[in-house]
């Protein structure tokens, strides 16, 4: 979760197009009157939140960005075209800071779009200056300069779902199987020392935190320090290894730690995930499900050794996160 990426850009909104000096041409009359059109407005610059963690990669080598310039005015009172807006797509969780004013823009929700720079207004053509006292104006104004600024963009990820469970429950293995993460996996407790993140299909972020043990909420093990990272997640995936013989005790231990920690952790939506199904027979699996149903009916089962099961499991999680 401490995953923060940052970039700096100079961004400029397009200048307005210039107004122009043009004249009407009527049969038999030279310079029948002013007809110079106004310039179009320069394009604005927006930032747009999307669900794609990897998108900052796209900007890695870019230092400057600019939106479209407004077109110049034209003859016959025609306006110049407005410049194209620039919409900069950034991952949800991006914080964009204007380096000079220190103003911050937070992209919190999917699809959120915020204006950060205004394009310059188009200038006016000579027709604009026409009046009873000035029937052949030669004035025009140039387009205004668009706003520009340096921006610092940093990413603070907000995970959609957090994997919790005892050490060895298979959290990191499942994260790796479901996402592009390459978390360390080991057959001993506390393999994971820091949170790992991965992106599911649809861009949903999964966070894997170190295993919790009894007393974690009071600081035992590593869990405490990292429980705060699941504070902002919508859903908890509560992993229980089927290797475990005391399934209910295990479930209650973790639930109790979430409750003790407070901050609403135990009120989050929970999916129970029984892991390592390859290690038990159907009877043991059914019995575990039956026991747990008293606490929560949303139970999934998984093994990381079977690609088809993983694919199916991934779809089930995405379905719940879409809700």
Ligand X SMILES: Nc1nc2c(ncn2[C@@H]2O[C@H](COP(=O)(O)OP(=O)(O)OP(=O)(O)O)[C@@H](O)[C@H]2O)c(=O)[nH]1
Give, rounded to a whole angstrom, the gap between the first and last alpha carbons of the chain: 23
Give 155 or 254: the residue with its C-beta nearer to ligand X: 254
Report the distance separating Cα 173 and Cα 136, nearest Å: 79
Q: What are the two backbone dihedrals, phi and then psi, of residue 234, each rounded to the nearest 5 degrees?
A: -85, -35
With contacts defined by CB under 5 A, name the span among 8-16, 167-175, 214-222, 250-258 that binds Mg ion.
167-175
Residue 176 engages Mg ion in binding (rule: CB under 5 A):
no
Residue 168 engages Mg ion in binding (rule: CB under 5 A):
no
| Among Mg ion, ligand X, none, residue 320 binds (CB under 5-8 Å by kind) | none
Give 66 or 247: the residue with its C-beta nearer to ligand X: 247
The tokens describing 9, both together, are 């850009």
> Would you tell me which residues interact with ligand X (CB under 6 A)?
165, 167-173, 185-187, 189-192, 210-211, 275-276, 278-279, 303-305
Could you tell me the smallest distance in angstroms from the CB atom of residue 178 to ligand X? 12
Could you tell me the smallest distance in angstroms from the CB atom of residue 262 to ligand X? 22
Contact 293, 299 (CB under 8 A): yes
Report the distance separating Cα 151 and Cα 3, nearest Å: 20
Residue 94 engages Mg ion in binding (rule: CB under 5 A):
no
Longest Cα separation, the chain:
102
Contact 279, 308 (CB under 8 A): no
Report the residue from 106, 139, 189, 191 that binds Mg ion according to the rule CB under 5 A.
Answer: 191
Contact 209, 162 (CB under 8 A): yes
Give 303 or 314: the residue with its C-beta nearer to ligand X: 303
Residue with tokens 């996996």: 185
Give 109 or 245: the residue with its C-beta nearer to ligand X: 245
> Which residues, 225 to 284, sit near Mg ion by CB under 5 A?
none
Q: What are the two backbone dihedrals, phi and then psi, of residue 47, each rounded to the nearest 5 degrees?
A: -115, 145
Report the distance separating Cα 116 and Cα 90, nearest Å: 13
| Among ligand X, Mg ion, none, residue 173 binds (CB under 5-8 Å by kind) | ligand X
Residue 172 engages Mg ion in binding (rule: CB under 5 A):
yes
Could you tell me the smallest distance in angstroms from the CB atom of residue 183 to ligand X? 7
Could you tell me the smallest distance in angstroms from the CB atom of residue 279 to ligand X? 5
Give 185 or 285: the residue with its C-beta nearer to Mg ion: 185
Report the half-sphere exposure of 195 (CA within 13 A, side-chain side): 25
Give 77 or 191: the residue with its C-beta nearer to ligand X: 191
**102: region left, alpha or beta (phi > 0 left; psi from -120 to 50 alpha):** left
Give 90 or 197: the residue with its C-beta nearer to ligand X: 197
Dihedral (CA of 169, 170, 175, 181) sign: positive
Could you tell me the smallest distance in angstroms from the CB atom of residue 247 to ligand X? 16
Beta strands per DSSP E along 69-168: 86-91, 94-98, 104-106, 113-117, 148-155, 161-165
Could you tell me the smallest distance in angstroms from the CB atom of residue 17 to Mg ion? 58
Residue 192 engages Mg ion in binding (rule: CB under 5 A):
yes
Give 5 or 194: the residue with its C-beta nearer to ligand X: 194
Report the distance separating Cα 179 and Cα 95, nearest Å: 24
| Among ligand X, Mg ion, none, residue 250 binds (CB under 5-8 Å by kind) | none
Binding-residue pattern over the window 125 to 164 for Mg ion, x denoting contact by CB under 5 A: ----------------------------------------
Query: Cβ-closest residue to ligand X?
Result: 211
Q: What is the 3-state secondary structure (H, E, C) of 43-72?
A: CCEEEEEECCHHHHHHHCCCCEEECCCCCC
């Amino acid at each position: 979760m401490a995953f923060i990426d940052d970039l700096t850009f100079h961004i400029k909104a397009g200048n307005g197009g210039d107004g122009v000096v043009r004249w009407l041409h009527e049969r038999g009359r030279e310079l029948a009157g002013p007809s110079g059109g106004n310039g179009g407005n320069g394009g604005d610059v927006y930032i747009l939140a999307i669900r794609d963690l990897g998108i900052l990669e796209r900007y890695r080598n870019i230092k400057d960005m600019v939106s479209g310039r407004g077109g110049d005015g034209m003859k016959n009172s025609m306006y110049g075209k407005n410049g194209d807006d620039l919409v900069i797509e950034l991952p949800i969780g991006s914080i964009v800071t204007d380096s000079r004013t220190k103003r911050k823009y937070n992209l919190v929700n999917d699809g959120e779009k915020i204006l950060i720079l205004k394009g310059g207004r188009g200038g006016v053509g000579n027709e604009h200056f026409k009046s009873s006292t000035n029937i052949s104006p030669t004035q025009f104004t140039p387009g205004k300069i668009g706003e520009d600024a340096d921006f610092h963009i940093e990413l603070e990820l907000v995970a959609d779902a957090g994997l919790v469970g005892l050490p060895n429950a298979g959290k990191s293995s499942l994260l790796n199987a479901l996402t592009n993460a390459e978390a360390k996996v080991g057959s001993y407790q506390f393999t994971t020392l820091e949170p790992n993140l991965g992106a599911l299909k649809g861009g949903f972020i999964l966070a894997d935190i170190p295993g919790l043990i009894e007393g974690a909420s009071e600081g035992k093990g590593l869990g405490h320090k990292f429980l705060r990272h699941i504070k902002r997640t919508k859903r908890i995936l509560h992993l229980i290894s089927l290797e475990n013989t005391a399934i209910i005790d295990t479930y209650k231990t973790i639930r109790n730690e979430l409750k003790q920690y407070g901050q609403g952790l135990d009120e989050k939506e929970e999916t129970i995930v029984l892991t390592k199904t390859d290690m038990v027979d159907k009877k043991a699996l059914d019995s575990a499900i039956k026991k747990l149903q008293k606490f929560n009916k949303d139970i999934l089962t998984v093994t990381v050794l079977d690609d088809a099961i993983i694919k199916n499991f991934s779809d089930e999680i995405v379905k719940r996160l879409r809700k």
